[in-house]
Chains A and B, each alone.
Chain A
Amino acid sequence: MDSRWTARAHRDWLVLAIPYGWLLIFFLAPFALVLKISLSQSALRQPPYEPVFSWSDSFQSLLGKLSTLSLDSFGGLLSDSLYLESYISSVLVAAVSTIVTLLVAYPFALAIARSSPKIRPILLGLAIAPFWTSFLIRVYAWIAILKDEGLLNHFLLSIGVIDAPLGIFATNTAIVIGIVYSYLPFMLLPLYAAIEGQDPALLEAAADLGASPWRAFSRITLPLSARGIVAGSLLVFIPAVGEFVIPDLLGGSDTLMIGRTLWNDFFLNRDWPTASAAAIVLLILLVGPLLVYERVQLREERQRA
């Protein structure tokens, strides 16, 4: 074999090894740990589950420990309606948040993409500017805005739009507002990219053929930005389902979201196996939308090729 060819094959292999090595260490290994814990039994010890494997286990004791692994925790998820309700509520809140984010971000993206090329970077920069401060601080700020004696209610009361505080703090509405605010850039950027990349002559052609501005938008701009809509929606929906900080800070005590339920199981109930099982189910739940995203991307690439 040509030595140059082998050298190149080695280099190609190295290029692949880096990201896959990264995934192996930082994704697959922790996932294996969580999977193992989900198959264990809860125990009053440190760590709070058993069995615990150790390098010094004899083969016999290893087999004994393996035989105690079971799917009991997954069964527990089914028997306790708390989990099912948490999943449903999380998916609903995430879905509503995604739709609202899309409705807010689309006009933004459209306006930026249609603005003069000179000010586009400035407008995009402004949209991303909140990322320069801590996420936590920004969510805390929303408490000050949304609570009954907060800025929003104070303002609406003072101009006489409402007679009593809206009472949206510590509700799912507050969570949706928090998610929409926090994740807006993740929707905005793919939408902007999808709209900005369109040939402006397409809209002129549509107008020339008799389409009103609204029809030109709905027949040309909107379908051609489908890729951006799908990408942005998944970038918002997927993390929103498992979101913990926003429901914890803006939600009420009755808020059921899976991120919070997980947290409670880990840190309050110290039921690590059940919490791990819930985390794995969440992951499986999100694989569906992820596959959709992958397929859209693949189709897009094949079309471009």
Chain B
Amino acid sequence: MTSGAPLVRLDGVTKRFGAVAAVHDLSLDIAAGEFFALLGPSGCGKTTLMRLIAGFEQPDAGRVFIGNDDVTDVPPHKRPVNMMFQSYALFPHMSVEKNIAFGLKQEGMPRAEISERVAEMLRLVQLEGLGKRRPDQLSGGQKQRVALARALAKRPKLLLLDEPLAALDRKLREQTQFELKEVQRRLGTAFVVVTHDQEEASVMASRIAVMRAGKLEQIGTPAEIYARPASRFVAEFFGDINILDGDVRSERELLIAADESTGRSAATAVRPERIVVESEAAAASAGLPAIVDDLAFRGSDTLYRVRLQSGKILRVVASNSGDRNAFRPGDKVRVQIPPDACIPLSH
């Protein structure tokens, strides 16, 4: 592979199931060594997209390239990528070692080398000593590690992970997110993870593609997508947000310069932590009059539901650091939205 060529290139790929296009005319590059996330709600086509890369689905239109090779018509067992399945798909009649060795045997690696590599993989996923166990003798977290070790054993340039943490409980999930990141960094393998969990994608991935109805809505780093969601869908899907539309215009102080000047913005998004709430007494005259409707103490911050005069409810997050006065339900307050916190949404 020459440098410069992306590791994976999808070129105008379409995949239909019956009348429904699960993936529609989608183009995407994935670079060597990056941790890439395909993010979207269920049914958005993210899993189909991954299966197109692995070769389990054939596109109805478009091409799939891995390195410089057009692999569109190459069957999965001849593609240089490996996949970790959501159900793990561990072979129940084989020990952990045999599961990990399976791919190596298929490529005809000498026996001694196989056992060396298997031991190395068991170390990598911290399962030394469990090699002789069968999958049904493992916990969920251990199975997940075996699946990871098996998929990495052939040292693929690209590893596809289908909802890798979906079957783990919450606490284990967070720990595993960081472990996956660590493994990815250490091996330099490109990881493409499919997930419906925005937080999971943000924690792990260096780049995220947000998908909706078979199309890409936005690609960018987690911070970019958070700061500048490209659409209302992305804004609502990716993190907590207030969407202000229509009725905003009636609140004179809220008229947003950018909105007026471009004249094409249908809505404006504001992240809850960018909104400033002050008590009516303390506030300078600027700001919208509002009433605190309810609040939720969340440890490091507090979430307020603030009702504007128009009846619109804003979600506001205020940090609990320092000695700022906490508000109570029914308090009269003033709300300020800094102009640079307003994200114009085109659709």
Candidates B89, B106, B150; contact of A204 at CB < 8 Å: B89
Q: Which residues of B contact A303 (CB under 8 A)?
A: 136
The distance in angstroms between the C-alpha atoms of A78 and B71, with both chains bound, is 69
Give the size of the chain A interface in residues (CB under 8 angstroms).
20
Q: Which residues of A contact B87 (CB under 8 A)?
A: 199, 201
**A-contacting 9-mer, from B77-85, B189-197, B233-241, B246-254:** B77-85
Which residues of chain B from 89 to 127 have a CB within 8 Å of any chain A CB? 89-93, 102-103, 106-107
Q: Are B92 and A208 in contact (CB under 8 A)?
A: no
Q: Which residues of B contact A213 (CB under 8 A)?
A: 77
The distance in angstroms between the C-alpha atoms of A211 and B82, with both chains bound, is 12
Shortest CB-to-CB span from A220 to chain B, Å, is 6
Q: Are A207 and B76 in contact (CB under 8 A)?
A: yes
Q: Which residues of A contact B55 (CB under 8 A)?
A: 207
Contact string against A for B residues 193-210, beta-carbon threshold 8 Å, 1 for contact and 0 otherwise: 000000000000000000
Which partner residue on chain B sits nearest A304 by CB separation? B136
Check if B330 is an interface residue, CB within 8 A of chain A: no
Which partner residue on chain B sits nearest A198 by CB separation? B92
The distance in angstroms between the C-alpha atoms of A95 and B136, with both chains bound, is 34
Q: Which residues of B contact A143 (CB under 8 A)?
A: none
Q: Are B136 and A208 in contact (CB under 8 A)?
A: no
The distance in angstroms between the C-alpha atoms of A223 and B76, with both chains bound, is 22
The distance in angstroms between the C-alpha atoms of A210 and B54, with both chains bound, is 11
The distance in angstroms between the C-alpha atoms of A224 and B136, with both chains bound, is 14
Q: Which residues of A contact B151 (CB under 8 A)?
A: 208-209
Q: Are B77 and A201 in contact (CB under 8 A)?
A: no
Q: Are B93 and A208 in contact (CB under 8 A)?
A: no
Shortest CB-to-CB span from B193 to chain A, Å, is 16
Check if A202 is an interface residue, CB within 8 A of chain B: yes
Candidates A204, A206, A212, A223; contact of B102 at CB < 8 Å: A206
Check if B178 is an interface residue, CB within 8 A of chain A: no
Q: Are A205 and B154 in contact (CB under 8 A)?
A: no
Instruction: Using known A-B contacts A204-B56, A204-B76, determine if residue A209 contacts B102 with beta carbons closer than 8 Å.
Output: yes
Q: Are A208 and B83 in contact (CB under 8 A)?
A: yes
Q: Which residues of A contact B103 (CB under 8 A)?
A: 209-210
Check if A138 is an interface residue, CB within 8 A of chain B: no
Q: Are B85 and A205 in contact (CB under 8 A)?
A: yes
Check if A215 is an interface residue, CB within 8 A of chain B: yes
Instruction: Using known A-B contacts A204-B85, A208-B82, A303-B136, determine if residue A224 contacts B93 with beta carbons closer than 8 Å.
Output: yes
The distance in angstroms between the C-alpha atoms of A201 and B86, with both chains bound, is 9
The distance in angstroms between the C-alpha atoms of A201 and B87, with both chains bound, is 8
Q: Which residues of B contact A206 (CB under 8 A)?
A: 77, 91, 102
Candidates B56, B76, B91; contact of A220 at CB < 8 Å: B91
Shortest CB-to-CB span from B96 to chain A, Å, is 14
Q: Which residues of B contact A219 (CB under 8 A)?
A: 102
Q: Are B89 and A205 in contact (CB under 8 A)?
A: yes
Which partner residue on chain B sits nearest A211 by CB separation? B106
Q: Which of A205, A213, A215, A220 lies at the interface centre, i.e. has the most chain B CB atoms within 10 A of its CB?
A: A205
Check if B75 is an interface residue, CB within 8 A of chain A: yes
Which partner residue on chain B sits nearest A201 by CB separation? B89
Shortest CB-to-CB span from A59 to chain B, Å, is 61
Q: Are A207 and B77 in contact (CB under 8 A)?
A: yes
Which residues of chain B from 22 to 64 have a CB within 8 Å of any chain A CB? 54-56
- Interface residues of chain A: helix, strand, loop or mixed (majority): helix
Q: Which of B75, B91, B136 lies at the interface centre, i.e. has the most chain A CB atoms within 10 A of its CB?
A: B91
Shortest CB-to-CB span from A174 to chain B, Å, is 39
Q: Which residues of A contact B92 (CB under 8 A)?
A: 224
Which partner residue on chain A sits nearest B78 by CB separation? A210
Q: Are B106 and A209 in contact (CB under 8 A)?
A: yes
Q: Which residues of A contact B75 (CB under 8 A)?
A: 207
Which partner residue on chain B sits nearest A226 by CB separation? B93
Candidates B85, B90, B102; contact of A211 at CB < 8 Å: B102
Contact string against A for B residues 267-296, beta-carbon threshold 8 Å, 1 for contact and 0 otherwise: 000000000000000000000000000000
Q: Which residues of A contact B102 (CB under 8 A)?
A: 206, 209, 211, 219
Which partner residue on chain B sits nearest A220 by CB separation? B91
Candidates B76, B85, B107, B150; contact of A201 at CB < 8 Å: B85
Q: Which residues of A contact B136 (CB under 8 A)?
A: 303
Shortest CB-to-CB span from B56 to chain A, Å, is 6
Q: Are B93 and A223 in contact (CB under 8 A)?
A: yes
Q: Are B82 and A209 in contact (CB under 8 A)?
A: yes
Q: Which residues of B contact A202 (CB under 8 A)?
A: 89, 91
Known: A201-B85, A213-B77, A219-B102. 17 other contacts (CB 8 A): A199-B87, A201-B86, A201-B89, A204-B56, A204-B85, A205-B83, A207-B55, A207-B56, A208-B76, A208-B77, A209-B82, A209-B151, A210-B77, A210-B78, A210-B107, A210-B154, A216-B77
| 22 A–B contacts, CB within 8 A, in A order | A199-B89, A201-B89, A204-B76, A204-B89, A205-B85, A205-B150, A206-B102, A207-B55, A207-B56, A207-B76, A208-B76, A208-B81, A208-B83, A209-B77, A209-B103, A209-B150, A210-B78, A210-B106, A211-B106, A216-B77, A219-B102, A223-B93
**Chain B residues within CB distance 8 Å of chain A:** 54-56, 75-78, 81-83, 85-87, 89-93, 102-103, 106-107, 136, 150-151, 154
**Chain A residues within CB distance 8 Å of chain B:** 199, 201-202, 204-213, 215-216, 219-220, 223-224, 303
Query: Lowest 10 A-B CB distances belong to which pairs?
Result: A209-B103, A210-B106, A201-B89, A205-B89, A207-B77, A207-B76, A208-B83, A201-B85, A211-B106, A210-B77
